[in-house]
Structure 1
Amino acid sequence: MLTAEAYKYCCTANDRSVIRRTPRRSVTYCIIETTMTLIETESQWLSTIILPKILASGRLLDNYSESKADTFRVGDIDVNVIGPKEAFMLTLCYRTTIRFEYDGEQYERKMVVKKTPMVPPDVYESIQFGDLFGNEIDFYTKILPQIQKVADGKFAAPKYYYSELNPCSAVVILSDFAENGWRVTKDRVGLSLEHARVAVKYLGKFHGFTYAIKHKNLEKFKELTENLKESRYANDTIHPQYLVTLKASVQRALLAVATYQPQVDEDFVKKFVFLISDSVKYGRQRVAPREPLATLCHGDYVRNNVAYKYDDKEEPQEIMMFDYQTLRVSSPMIDLSVFLAISIYADVRYTHFDSIFDDYCTALYDSYRKHTKDEVPEFMNRTELLKEYIRFLPYSVSITSCFLFELVEPSGLSSEEMFKNEMSDEKVIERTMKTGGELVDREIANQLKEMFELSRKYNVPIEDGIDVDALPKI
């Protein structure tokens, strides 16, 4: 489940003709028929190919014995496709309930299957599906076990069952965390203060784990992270239609701040526009690991990729992150800045910023001290982290500008429909500029105002750490 990358995916499809040229009623019947065929195909694939492999791995049953493998019988398989109304996704993703018999006993397992869609090889490559799935597989098979050692087995994560990484396809199968009371929030954006506090405390705790691994055993840290691939800025070429979206999103930001926050200095806004006008060159520099703050980060810590547990009053108590496809070694502020930009509105973020930031820092420091038995290094003090947060604000605000509207007013298209949905440049511009209306405009303007105020207050230029000579002039 991706966020900023998701819109990029919509703009990289090669065949965009089918849905647009087909009558709406025919499309509905086609989708129903396709879904039924998909369920049958996936059930057969699970039953005959995948489940025997998971059984043989020992992950399906704790009491598995090869001598009793012939007693394994697959029964009913339910498949429930996760649609766009629940989450914005690029992949084929579904929940499945599997009933089976082993050694005379009946069992049931609930899983989530995530697969790459059927796309041409050039599209598969342009979206970097191989790198995205490779990172996630690396997390569950290599990195998570080490984190669990540091966390005494208390790091919340779905159970890993199976994965494949092929030249033009990939799959990851995990446990269904809903079975244990976890769920994604009903709201796509604008989470409450309570949700924000739980999220940033957990994030601080996670970064405390990863710093502890790095500082106690640097060689082990390098070994764990050496195979992670750049999954967002590896390609220099941007699809032309995505470029249209990016340019339109910059114009929307300019109009929004001029309309709703006109006090923001014009030269400051121009500097922001200059930085983000080439999202690849700027983004590649911004997320590059820089010492001493670099550590292991989620890379896409947003509402779509976290699940909460609630008490009987529906107050959030715990949180668990998932979808580790954009895992990277970078500044921890990539996670904090993007979460606060994409998942929290200004009425919560701006009003309570200091206490939210304190929550993150306190959790980070407590986690670090607990797992290293050492004091927190000076370069991780609150002031230094806040300055780093400010450096990442152009990055997070640029994501808000080009993607928030999709969360506020989603298109409702599945990944399959996205591939077949043809859209002219004019339509792309219109959708980017207008979708979400005043709510989105005000939020973008507020984020620019917050960036301006923090930059001035703490004397941190937003281009700090960026080689501006390497960026194209506009």
Structure 2
Amino acid sequence: MAELRKKHKTWIKEFLTPNLVENQKLITCKNPKEHIEIEAIEIKEMSLEVAFMLTVCYFVKISIKIRTEHEQCEGEDGYDETLFDIVVKFAPDVEPDLYEIWGMQEKFGNEITTYEHIAPKIESLSKSPKCLYSHNEPSDAVIVLSDFSNDGWKMSKLKVNLPLDHIIVAVKELGRFHGQMYALKLTDADAFQSMKSRLLNSRFGEVTDEWNICLELGIRRATYSVRTSIESREIVPETFLKRLEEVMYGVYDYLGKRNRPIEPIAIICHGDYLRNNIAFRYDVDGKAIEAMMFDFQTMCYSSPMIDLTTFIANSTGWKVRNKHFSEIFSAYHESLIGSFIQASKWEESKIPEYLKYDNMLKEYACYLPFGLGIASAFLQFLHDKETPNFEQKSPIKETIRFALDKGGDVVDAELRALVVDIYQLHDKLDLNLEKL
């Protein structure tokens, strides 16, 4: 591990930084008499405490001195000194079979595709980080991005159970993104198809034994938590719990099938829209006022509800949802429709039926088990401070303990609440759980 980090840092110092300077990715020389010198490079590895991630990331601060011949510039010895902050993301150094199972080449391919071919055409992505360098070879990939913190963006200090102000701006941003994607799909089919055809399947291929166990036991943990809660047991009938277990049996396969596109509602989605991949801007009082999505490795063509249910199930808490779900869903839907109308230039009367509020709410209800499936194996990571080692296989007993116990009562309560949400929405909207 230490040798790998040393290799990364050497590459950043000896290849990447000179390359960025030479290709004028950091600063553009307009005067042929300007001379640029790399003064210092500071490298700091990003901790898993910041965010859950499979990649190896570094914050890099580059100090550059610019001297102009025959001109006395400000700064010591006639130099102007400028600082640049970048983020360098390396693919994990794992065995080739695990690299393939994780779909790392596809994930890096999708992110590069997004920066090169999708972001320039989708206005809501214009505030995302800028890609400065990339390469993507088998078992060797790297992406270099501008550091969005320089533009006032910050990740939430909370990894889970975001406050309402964060939730509202996050779903509004998601609705804005989805609305612009629908507008492109319906007004410029060729451009949309060109984007879609470049995306690779980066999820729901092969699966590790550990992850499969976590998913299967996570769903059982959720339904067991309902059965052992007097309050929840009075709300959710046993017949519904058994049906949910039947429908989601083979969770990984269920998620893969649910992720497949169904027309006409399918669009290009982020694919992993949750707190780890969202940054916020705040007002002077610390209130979240704007959100930005990043990390586009799981971009895919599917129902927009894979994004919304992933966010709701993994980044919001049941206490906020119980009080404010209508407000949250309305904020998302109003943003989607407003964005669609603005981008398409269509009148409101031309909006497709499947984008109307009631139909989108039904779509959300049908896809909420997808969000539960992701949460059933992911909330444990988010609520527990123990950092997993993804590069080593875990003993089966340890994996079982992790799936059933990590996060304790807090995770039990969140999973239980998601099952209750699924039941109540299906009951209210007169829907049946679908066997895929």
- With over 3 angstroms needed to count, the CA separation of the structure-2 counterparts of 1:440 and 1:131, relative to structure 1, is same
**Does the alignment pair 1:277 with 2:249?**
yes
Q: Could you report, residue by residue, the CA deviation over 1:432-471 in whole angstroms, capped at 9, with x for unpaired residues?
A: 11111111111111110110011011112221xx54xxxx
SS in 1 for 2:203: coil
Determine the C-alpha separation between the residues in 2 that align with 1:345 and 1:64. 52
Amino acid at match of 1:430: R
SS in 2 for 1:351: helix
Determine the C-alpha separation between the residues in 2 that align with 1:53 and 1:43. 15
SS in 2 for 1:184: coil
- 1:86 is aligned to 50
Are the equivalent residues in 1 in contact too, given 2:61–2:84 (CA < 8 A)? yes
Q: How does 1:52-451 map to 2 (within 5 A)?
A: 52-63=18-29, 71-102=35-66, 104=68, 105-148=80-123, 155-235=126-206, 238-260=207-229, 261-263=232-234, 264-374=236-346, 375=348, 376-413=351-388, 417-420=389-392, 423-451=394-422
Are the equivalent residues in 1 in contact too, given 2:266–2:304 (CA < 8 A)? yes
Task: Give the CA deviation at 1:39.
Answer: 6.0
Determine the C-alpha separation between the residues in 2 that align with 1:387 and 1:442. 24
Task: Give the CA deviation at 1:64.
Answer: 5.9
Task: Give the CA deviation at 1:393.
Answer: 1.0
Structure 2 length as normaliser, TM-score? 0.91
Determine the C-alpha separation between the residues in 1 that align with 2:29 and 2:196. 33
Are the equivalent residues in 2 in contact too, given 1:130–1:168 (CA < 8 A)? yes
Amino acid at match of 1:132: K
Amino acid at match of 2:181: T
Are the equivalent residues in 2 in contact too, given 1:249–1:402 (CA < 8 A)? yes
CA root-mean-square deviation: 1.9
Q: Could you report, residue by residue, the CA deviation over 1:331-376 in whole angstroms, capped at 9, with x for unpaired residues?
A: 1111111111100011111221111111111111111111111032
Determine the C-alpha separation between the residues in 2 that align with 1:54 and 1:451. 49
Task: Give the CA deviation at 1:55.
Answer: 3.4
Determine the C-alpha separation between the residues in 1 that align with 2:237 and 2:33. 73
Determine the C-alpha separation between the residues in 2 that align with 1:401 and 1:38. 32
Q: Could you report, residue by residue, the CA deviation over 1:183-206 in whole angstroms, capped at 9, with x for unpaired residues?
A: 111111011111111111111111
5+ residue gaps in structure 1? 1-30, 468-474
Amino acid at match of 2:421: E
Are the equivalent residues in 1 in contact too, given 2:105–2:138 (CA < 8 A)? yes
SS in 2 for 1:123: helix
Are the equivalent residues in 1 in contact too, given 2:261–2:301 (CA < 8 A)? yes
Are the equivalent residues in 2 in contact too, given 1:275–1:394 (CA < 8 A)? no
Are the equivalent residues in 1 in contact too, given 2:101–2:205 (CA < 8 A)? no
Determine the C-alpha separation between the residues in 2 that align with 1:411 and 1:440. 15
- With over 3 angstroms needed to count, the CA separation of the structure-2 counterparts of 1:283 and 1:98, relative to structure 1, is same
Determine the C-alpha separation between the residues in 2 that align with 1:294 and 1:337. 15
Are the equivalent residues in 1 in contact too, given 2:61–2:85 (CA < 8 A)? yes
Amino acid at match of 2:29: N
Task: Give the CA deviation at 1:46.
Answer: 2.1
- With over 3 angstroms needed to count, the CA separation of the structure-2 counterparts of 1:321 and 1:220, relative to structure 1, is same
* Greater Cα offset, 298-307 or 400-409: 400-409
- 2:15 is aligned to 49
Determine the C-alpha separation between the residues in 2 that align with 1:298 and 1:382. 21
May I ask how many residue pairs the two structures share in their alignment? 419
Determine the C-alpha separation between the residues in 2 that align with 1:55 and 1:140. 20
Larger RCO of the pair (alpha carbons < 8 Å, separation 6+): 1
SS in 1 for 2:323: coil
Amino acid at match of 2:55: T
Are the equivalent residues in 1 in contact too, given 2:212–2:252 (CA < 8 A)? no
SS in 1 for 2:154: coil
Determine the C-alpha separation between the residues in 2 that align with 1:68 and 1:38. 39
Determine the C-alpha separation between the residues in 2 that align with 1:183 and 1:285. 34
Task: Give the CA deviation at 1:103.
Answer: 5.1
Determine the C-alpha separation between the residues in 1 that align with 2:160 and 2:194. 36
Are the equivalent residues in 1 in contact too, given 2:57–2:87 (CA < 8 A)? yes
Structure 1 length as normaliser, TM-score? 0.84
Amino acid at match of 1:205: R
Task: Give the CA deviation at 1:322.
Answer: 0.6
* Greater Cα offset, 179-188 or 37-46: 37-46
SS in 2 for 1:396: helix
Q: Could you report, residue by residue, the CA deviation over 1:416-443 in whole angstroms, capped at 9, with x for unpaired residues?
A: x4324x5321221122111111111111
Determine the C-alpha separation between the residues in 2 that align with 1:402 and 1:45. 35
Are the equivalent residues in 1 in contact too, given 2:120–2:126 (CA < 8 A)? no
Determine the C-alpha separation between the residues in 2 that align with 1:452 and 1:68. 70
Determine the C-alpha separation between the residues in 2 that align with 1:170 and 1:86. 22
Task: Give the CA deviation at 1:102.
Answer: 4.4
- With over 3 angstroms needed to count, the CA separation of the structure-2 counterparts of 1:68 and 1:284, relative to structure 1, is farther
Determine the C-alpha separation between the residues in 2 that align with 1:62 and 1:224. 30
Amino acid at match of 2:137: N
Are the equivalent residues in 2 in contact too, given 1:276–1:395 (CA < 8 A)? no
Determine the C-alpha separation between the residues in 2 that align with 1:257 and 1:46. 50
% identical equivalent positions: 34
- With over 3 angstroms needed to count, the CA separation of the structure-2 counterparts of 1:142 and 1:315, relative to structure 1, is same
Task: Give the CA deviation at 1:68.
Answer: 7.1
SS in 2 for 1:183: coil
Are the equivalent residues in 2 in contact too, given 1:345–1:443 (CA < 8 A)? yes
SS in 2 for 1:350: helix
